[in-house]
Chain A
Amino acid sequence: MLEREEILETLRMLLEERLDIRTVTLGVSLKDCASRDIDETCSLIEEKLLRVGSRLVSEAQALEEKYGIAIVNRRVAVTPLANVISPALHGVSGEEGREAAVRAALALERAAAKLEVDFIGGFSALVEKGFTPAEEALIDAIPEALSRTQRVCSSVNVATTRAGINMDAVLKMGEVVKRTSELDYRACARLVTFANAPGDNPFMAGAFHGEGEGEAALNVGISGPGVVRAVLEKHPEASLGEVAEVIKRTAFKITRVGELIGRELSRRLGVSFGIVDLSLAPTPFPGDSVAKIIEAMGIARCGAPGSVAALALLVDAVKKGGTMATSYVGGLSGAFIPVSEDAGMAEAAREGAITIDKLLAMTSVCSVGLDMVVLPASTSASTVSGLIADEAAIGVMNNKTTGVRVILAGKEGERVELGGLLGYAYVMPVSEHSCEAFVKRGGRIPSPIHGHRN
Chain B
Amino acid sequence: MKKERAVITVIGEDHPGIIAAVTSACAELGINIEDLSQTVVQGILTMTLIVDITGKDLRELQRRLASVAEEQRVKIIAQHEDIFRYMHRI
Contacts and interface: CB of A to CB of B under 8 A. Distances in A.
Given A67-B82, A253-B87, A2 B50 contact: yes
Contacts of A67: 79-80, 82-83
A260 B81 CA distance: 12
Nearest to A3: B88
A10 interface: yes
B47 to A, nearest CB: 10
Q: Among the interface residues A65, A69, A259, which one has the most CB atoms of the partner chain B within 10 A? A: A65
Contacts, number: 55
A227 to B, nearest CB: 11
A7 B59 contact: no
A253 B83 contact: no
B2 interface: no
Interface residues of A, number: 20
B86 A66 contact: no
Interface string B43-55: 0001010100000
B86 A68 contact: no
B46 A257 contact: no
Contact of A68 (B79, B85, B87): B79
A148 interface: no
Nearest to B77: A68
Interface string B62-90: 10000000000000011111111111100
A6 B84 contact: yes
Nearest to B62: A65
A356 to B, nearest CB: 38
A437 interface: no
B37 interface: yes
B84 A7 contact: yes
Interface residues of B, number: 23
Contacts of A68: 77-79, 83
Contact of A10 (B50, B62, B84): B84
Interface in A1-27: 1-4, 6-11
A1 B87 contact: no
A7 B80 contact: no
Contact of B59 (A9, A10, A11, A65): A65
A110 interface: no
Interface in A41-100: 65-69
Nearest to A2: B84
A69 B37 CA distance: 23
A256 interface: yes
A285 B5 CA distance: 33
Given A65-B59, A65-B62, A253-B88, A7 B7 contact: yes
Contacts of B83: 10, 67-69, 257, 260
Interface of B: 7, 9, 34-35, 37, 46, 48, 50, 58-59, 62, 77-88
Interface of A: 1-4, 6-11, 65-69, 253, 256-257, 259-260
25 contacts: A1-B35, A1-B50, A2-B7, A2-B50, A3-B88, A6-B84, A6-B87, A6-B88, A7-B84, A8-B46, A10-B83, A10-B87, A11-B9, A11-B77, A65-B58, A65-B59, A65-B62, A66-B79, A67-B83, A68-B78, A253-B87, A256-B86, A256-B87, A257-B86, A259-B86
